[in-house]
Amino acid sequence: MTETADLKSSVLCWGSLTHGQLGLGGLEEETVTLPREIRSFCNVEVVHIACGLQHTLFVKKDGRVLSCGNNDYGQLGHEKPC
């Protein structure tokens, strides 16, 4: 999995999508092979991105963290589902 922020403040992603770790929503494909923009981040200034095996963390300019992907061990920073 790879994520990058370009100069226009777009966030692009590609790689495995098996746990929603790319932040693209409910796509049916398992792998994204070409860079794709995460449209929900169009007006969000992301300054740092950290990719785990099955999750991704995005740090916004204001310091808040957004997360997506597998949360089996609480790695997304919020409560695990029961």
For range 16-35, the mean pLDDT: 85
So where are the chain's domains? Answer: 2-69
Both tokens of 79, joined, read 């409560």
Sheet strands side by side (includes 55-60): 46-51, 55-60, 65-69
Beta carbons within 10 angstroms of residue 40's beta carbon? 13
Both tokens of 27, joined, read 């796509």
Q: What is the pLDDT of residue 48?
A: 94
Proportion of the chain above pLDDT 70, given as a percent? 84
Both tokens of 44, joined, read 């969000």
Q: What is the pLDDT of residue 26?
A: 72
Q: What is the pLDDT confidence band of residue 29, given thresholds at 50, 70 and 90?
A: confident
Both tokens of 75, joined, read 């790695």
Three-state DSSP at 34 gives: strand
